[in-house]
Structure 1
């Protein structure tokens, strides 16, 4: 069976990045989301390697074995895209296909938008590309959903990470095992409570997740913790300011979008962003909906995701 190897790579952005990799051939970067790490791509690393590709899943800035700077201002989208381009450089390539899930998807879309000459193709999972909004996002979310909306709650320095550190195993269990398509949709923190109060401890894990998977995530977060990952959310308004030059700029490389039809990120009114994706991603090759699938796309449905990704890669 194909082995997954681990090493540290000095990105030309200046960040020393931990990567998991397998195979050889054209480069495919796999960018994880929150609260994840390279491990969320364990099924794709092997499948892509066996299909003839060099699959590389980094721990992104602030996460797991990579870690990151203490200054929250060093977690902007410019930094994150710089890490991606710097990793392509460090791996000795001119171009890569960049795939991202959850928070990794906006980074993948932005890399394709900012530096299209370095991105041979882009794959977004769960989070579609959204054009820059007309006003700063945090206040807009506060007005629409209240102070308890999880992205607003995450703006508080030290508060959510202190909550998550109390029981990391419970945190990963609750995040990953939330039933897809629940009426509550995206998390809203109850008055006087914490983020985890917006979910419940599962009676049993879903069939795609094991206790060993949970233990692996806990181990991977043991050193770096949650402050770096949460700093991504704390730059939402700063990203809005810094991306003014790309307002309504298209994402031009060939693109694929994959999502579960029970993912709260894209159900209800949010589905419009997917329906209009080709307006801003003119070379969108396909949109793949996974029936009955929730948010953790590539972990919940590895076989279908691998088939869609490899089909897209072979068509480039």
Structure 2
């Protein structure tokens, strides 16, 4: 079996990043989401390597072994895209296919939009490309969903990371189950006076795709860095809107692939965006819906995701 190796790489952005990697060949950069790390790509690293690619999954800014600065304003989309482009440089490549899941998807879309010269192709799991809106997002979300909507809730200083870090084992068990295709349904709206984990109840039995070893690995990977850095990504939503004015409704021109589960509330709640995505992603090659799959796409359905990714990579 192909080995997954680990090292630290100095991104040209200046961030010292932990990466997990496997294989040799054209570079495929795998960007995780929240609350994850390189480990969410465990099933893809080996599959891509065995198919002749150099698969690299970093811990992104603020996460796990990479960690990051304490200042909230150091987690903008420009920092995150810069880390990814800087990592391509540090790995000695001119171009890469950039794949992202959850929060990693907006980063992948941003890299493809801002630096198409560095991107052979872009693949996004769960989160479609959204063109820049006409007004800042946090106020819009507050009006639509209330103060309890998790992205609005995460704007509060200190509170979300304290809750998530109180019992990391319960945090990962509850969140990974709640947003999966095995749970009865997921509504990420915090009840008044409650916390985010109130909408992530612990399962009586963990899904087949999620082992006790998986949960223990996430807990161990977060032991030093905690949750403040990851939550800071959400605290930059309005700042990102300000910073990206120059790219308002600019197209994403590299070849693209989108994959989502049909039980993923993030994707199903964005069906209208997905249906119109070619308006702003003109070379969208395919949209793949995975039946019965929830939000943790590449972990819940590794074989199907690997098949879709390899088909896309071979088409480039």
Above 0.5 in TM-score? yes
Please report the TM-score for the alignment, with normalisation by the length of structure 1. 0.98
Distance 1:28 1:138 in 2: 32
Secondary structure, aligned partner of 2:108: helix
Q: Which runs of 4+ in 1 moved over 6 A?
A: none
TM-score (norm 2): 0.98
Q: Contact conserved, 2:187 with 2:199, CA < 8 A, in 1?
A: no
Deviation at 1:186, TM superposition (A): 3.7
CA spacing shift, 1:209–1:182, aligned 2, 3 Å: closer
- Check whether the contact 2:172–2:215 (CA below 8 A) recurs between aligned residues: yes
Q: CA deviation at 1:66?
A: 0.1
Q: Which aligned pairs between 1:262-273 and structure 2 lie closer than 5 A?
A: 262-268=263-269, 270-273=270-273
Structure 2: distance between partners of 1:199 and 1:168: 13
Contact 1:2 1:50 in 2 (8 A): yes
**CA distance in 2: counterparts of 1:199 and 1:307, whole angstroms:** 30
C-alpha distance 181-208 of structure 1, shift in aligned 2 (>3 A)? closer
* Contact 1:181/1:264 (8 A) holds in 2: no
In the alignment, which residue of structure 2 is the partner of 1:314? Answer: 314
Match of 2:125 in 1: 125
Q: Secondary structure at the match of 2:129?
A: coil
Shift in Å, 1:210: 0.3
Name the counterpart of 2:225.
Answer: 224
CA deviation digits over 1:138-161, x for unaligned, max 9? Answer: 011011100000001100111011
What is the RMSD computed on CA atoms of the aligned residues?
A: 1.0
Correspondence 1:27-38 to 2 at 5 A:
27-38=27-38
The alignment status of 1:152 with 2:157, answered yes or no, reads no
5+ unaligned residues in a row in structure 1: which ranges?
none
- Equivalent position SS for 1:265: helix
Alignment correspondent of 2:54: 54
SS at match of 2:313: helix
Describe how 1:154-303 pairs up with structure 2 within 5 A: 154-178=154-178, 179-180=180-181, 185-268=186-269, 270-303=270-303
Q: CA deviation at 1:164?
A: 1.1
Q: Which runs of 5+ in 2 are unaligned?
A: none
Number of residues of Structure 1 aligned to a counterpart in Structure 2? 315
Q: Which moved more, 1:236-245 or 1:193-202?
A: 193-202
* Aligned counterparts of 1:10 and 1:187: Cα–Cα separation in 2: 36
| SS of equivalent to 2:265 | coil
